Chains A and B, each alone.
Chain A
Amino acid sequence: MGWRNFWRKLVNYVMFSLTGVCALVTVGVLFFILGYLLWHGGSSLSWTFLTHLPTPVGETGGGMANAIVGSAKLLLLASLLGIPIGFLGGVYLAEFGGQAFSSVVRYTADLLNGVPSIVMGIFAFAVVVLPMKHFSTLAGSLALGVMMIPIAVRSTEEALRTVPMMLREGALALGASKWKTIATVAVPAARKGIITGIVLDIARVAGETAPLLFTAFSNRFWSPGWNQPTASLPVMVYTYAISPYDDWHRQAWAAGLVLLTLVLVANVIARMSISGRTAHL
């Protein structure tokens, strides 16, 4: 009897220690990633890197200014395409929706969310690049924008659903029309969740590489307007990482650091502003 209890207590201790190790290792991985990128990337991060264009292989002094701006342009246009549609779609699901249609839309949104991003790239290639006969920022933004829609829909809907019905009823009782209730009462009440969802949406899409490979392509120069191929941070990280040149490797680390910092900062800010509520992935 004593032996059996000892054994059970031992199992208890060992198993929980193992689970603790699992948790620590996982947490440790993130710190390792951050630390390694800071170490390797930080040393290559310089004013030159941030403001110069890429130079030919073998020449030093190259930078990724065009990739940084390219990513910003892509994200801006993608947000303009994806967020309004996603936001309004979420409003529909939360405020107007009928049962059957809404479930179909929700299911499809989850489906679209699960589509591998490379398939989105194929779609944008067929729909934009081929007819336009151009790789372009527009095509890349379309691929990214379409990826943003389902996330925006779901996060807007969830944010709106946390607003108590009483608020809406109060406005309606005062004679406001439904759309006015939504616009002046429901949405402002949910604005924290909505904005958080948008920020997370942009951060998620900022790191996507695959859909850009054959839509925005890449560019060694500045990309004027929206009709030309453009460099972007994730694609540059990829191209430079698989090359054999040490100088390009260093730049890949620096670019990775910039990209990761932006994404993590956005995530930390967004998640901290909704802390207290269960965070959703």
Chain B
Amino acid sequence: MKRLPYLSTVLLGTAVVLVGLVQFQSLPTTAAPAPDSVMLNGAGASFPYPIYAKWFSDYNKLHSDIQINYQSIGSGGGIRQLLSGTVDFGASDAPMTDQQLGEAKTKILHFPTVLGAVVPSYNIPGLSKELDFTPDVLADIFLGKISKWNDPAIAKSNQGVNLPATDIVVVHRSDASGTSFVWTDYLSKVSPEWESKVGRNIAVNWPVGLGGKGNEGVTGLVKQTPGAIGYIELLYALQNGVAFGRVRNSAGVFLKADLASVTAAATGFEKTIPADFRISITNAPGKASYPICSFTYLLIPTTFADAKKKQVVKNFLTWMLNDGQKDAEPLSYARLPKEVVARELKQISQIQ
């Protein structure tokens, strides 16, 4: 028993040893950063997190002295941390509003990176067929007006499907989210009632439902809760084996989200994308367009205090627009249209 306090001192000593290891970074299987390495910190949208994670990891493998640490905390978080100056860059699916841009100390540039789709995913065990959703049904479910899966409104567009009599568990985001912005933007366009009651924003006053944190949290909740319906980015549904339905677009065609339908949605807007790239492409016209798509943006300040960081950012953006785009399709994101890429390459020069 007398030796025990000394054992605890040994524990403390182990901690010191571990810290010593940090200084030498000599654990065998990791790339130790070189003495003059650059570390960038970014945070924001969970929508593109799978591809950003891949990009930043691949970029680090190409340039072992550059570490870009990105945390998926939601678009609202990305914007907020960027405005506070606590991160070097942000990321968001929702373009920054004029008011937010006004709060920034320097000019912020929007760089679209990929296109993604938001899908209505659900968890209904034993369903015989995929579900078809009309815009009104989606709005009414999220308004709380439709509360059971075998409601006549749902059955109308799903003839012959064995809809159960279970309660609908709506899942939305508990954090401030660009994905929420895309979803509510779409619902506002197709449902006047939604627009007046709830509106479009990264965080709204949801009439019903459970809150999940990030695309990750919503996917998790839908996956674990029978009867749940939630809106998530396409890749999350695919990677996690969650079922999602077709949505009727503005031309009346029921479409499932995939590369073709997302790319088609972007094609319609090419002429109208403004100079600062802030645009909403939900409910796009065209028979082949999936109605709930969005660009997702990296939010880059135009002035950097650290010249090395600035150069890294510019190099990364160039790499992302040229080489990184090939990683998009395997992860079910759509590549940027060529004209957009060309314009963005020109925009990089605005970073002083």
Chain B window 204-246, contacts with chain A (Cβ cutoff 8 Å), 1 for yes, 0 for no = 0000000011101101100100000000000010011010000
Q: Considering only CB atoms, which chain B residue lies closest to A262 in the complex?
A: B11
CB of A56 within 8 A of CB of B39, answer no
CB of B1 within 8 A of CB of A273, answer yes
CB of A273 within 8 A of CB of B22, answer no
Chain A window 212-237, contacts with chain B (Cβ cutoff 8 Å), 1 for yes, 0 for no = 00000111111010001100000000
- With a cutoff of 8 Å between Cβ atoms, the chain A residues found around residue B69 in the complex are 219-221, 228-229
Q: How far is the CA of A195 from the CA of B8 in the complex (A)?
A: 8
Residue B57 is within 8 A (CB to CB) of chain A in the complex: yes
Instruction: Bin chain B's interface residue count.
Output: 35 or more
Q: How far is the CB of B285 from chain A (nearest CB, A)?
A: 33
CB of A76 within 8 A of CB of B33, answer no
Which of B47-55, B95-103, B287-295, B309-317 contacts its partner? B47-55
Instruction: Give the residue of B39, B57, B84 whose beta carbon is less than 8 angstroms from that of A228.
Output: B39
Given contacts A133-B86, A224-B37, contact A244 B223 (CB under 8 A): yes
CB of B9 within 8 A of CB of A195, answer yes
Which residues of chain A (180-203) have a CB below 8 Å from chain B?
A: 191-192, 195-196, 199, 202
Q: How far is the CB of A241 from chain B (nearest CB, A)?
A: 9
Q: How far is the CA of A220 from the CA of B67 in the complex (A)?
A: 9
Residue B347 is within 8 A (CB to CB) of chain A in the complex: no
CB of A199 within 8 A of CB of B86, answer no
Residue B127 is within 8 A (CB to CB) of chain A in the complex: no
Q: How far is the CB of B234 from chain A (nearest CB, A)?
A: 14
Residue B60 is within 8 A (CB to CB) of chain A in the complex: yes
CB of B25 within 8 A of CB of A222, answer yes
- With a cutoff of 8 Å between Cβ atoms, the chain B residues found around residue A270 in the complex are 4, 8
Chain B window 1-45, contacts with chain A (Cβ cutoff 8 Å), 1 for yes, 0 for no = 100110111011001101101100101111011000101010100
Residue A135 is within 8 A (CB to CB) of chain B in the complex: yes
- With a cutoff of 8 Å between Cβ atoms, the chain A residues found around residue B212 in the complex are 242
Q: How far is the CB of A99 from chain B (nearest CB, A)?
A: 32
Which of A7-15, A16-24, A47-55, A89-97 contacts its partner? A47-55
Q: How far is the CB of B214 from chain A (nearest CB, A)?
A: 8
CB of A130 within 8 A of CB of B8, answer no
Residue B85 is within 8 A (CB to CB) of chain A in the complex: yes
- With a cutoff of 8 Å between Cβ atoms, the chain A residues found around residue B157 in the complex are none
CB of A229 within 8 A of CB of B41, answer yes
CB of B18 within 8 A of CB of A72, answer yes
CB of B22 within 8 A of CB of A69, answer yes
Q: How far is the CA of A51 from the CA of B18 in the complex (A)?
A: 12
Residue A58 is within 8 A (CB to CB) of chain B in the complex: yes
- With a cutoff of 8 Å between Cβ atoms, the chain A residues found around residue B41 in the complex are 134-135, 217, 228-229
CB of B4 within 8 A of CB of A273, answer yes
Q: How far is the CA of A218 from the CA of B213 in the complex (A)?
A: 16
CB of B15 within 8 A of CB of A51, answer no
Instruction: Give the residue of B12, B28, B220 whose beta carbon is less than 8 angstroms from that of A243.
Output: B220
CB of B30 within 8 A of CB of A65, answer yes
Residue A75 is within 8 A (CB to CB) of chain B in the complex: yes
CB of A244 within 8 A of CB of B220, answer yes
- With a cutoff of 8 Å between Cβ atoms, the chain A residues found around residue B43 in the complex are 217
Q: How far is the CA of A69 from the CA of B60 in the complex (A)?
A: 20
Residue A264 is within 8 A (CB to CB) of chain B in the complex: no
Q: How far is the CB of A127 from chain B (nearest CB, A)?
A: 13
Residue A272 is within 8 A (CB to CB) of chain B in the complex: yes
Q: How far is the CA of A66 from the CA of B219 in the complex (A)?
A: 27
Residue A153 is within 8 A (CB to CB) of chain B in the complex: no
Given contacts A72-B15, A133-B86, A242-B216, contact A58 B39 (CB under 8 A): no
CB of B27 within 8 A of CB of A51, answer yes
Q: How far is the CB of B36 from chain A (nearest CB, A)?
A: 11
Q: How far is the CB of B232 from chain A (nearest CB, A)?
A: 9
- Between-chain CB contacts (< 8 Å), 7 pairs: A72-B15, A135-B87, A195-B5, A199-B8, A220-B69, A228-B41, A245-B240
- A-B pairs, 10 with minimum CB distance: A273-B4, A56-B53, A244-B219, A244-B220, A243-B216, A72-B18, A133-B85, A221-B67, A199-B8, A195-B5
Q: Which residues of B contact A (CB under 8 A)?
A: 1, 4-5, 7-9, 11-12, 15-16, 18-19, 21-22, 25, 27-30, 32-33, 37, 39, 41, 43, 49-50, 53-54, 56-57, 60, 67, 69-71, 84-87, 212-214, 216-217, 219-220, 223, 236, 239-240, 242
Inter-chain pairs besides A221-B67, A273-B8, 11 sampled, C-beta below 8 Å: A56-B54, A56-B57, A57-B239, A192-B5, A221-B60, A222-B67, A224-B39, A229-B41, A242-B220, A244-B236, A273-B1
